[in-house]
Amino acid sequence: MSLDTLDISANELHLTLNSFDKEMEKREVTFVSSANYICMMSKSKMALDRIKRNAMKYLEK
């Protein structure tokens, strides 16, 4: 899912990403985010797949 495909206003997007950033920091995930992209990093592919799956669930709710 691309952030460009989300059907929300710019203000809602900002609030969602701010909340997402705080959640990822709480989970100690290494990441970089901007208005259009989120880049998450991990030491293993298996861990990255788990992080990505959980991040998608968080953003879709």
- pLDDT tops 70 at residue 60: yes
Q: What is the mean pLDDT of the chain?
A: 83
* The pLDDT of residue 25: 93
Question: Quick check: 33 and 16 in contact, CB under 8 A?
Answer: no
Q: What is the DSSP letter of 42?
A: -
Q: What's this model's pTM, rounded to 2 decimal places?
A: 0.66
- Per the structure block, which two tokens stand in for 56? 């998608």
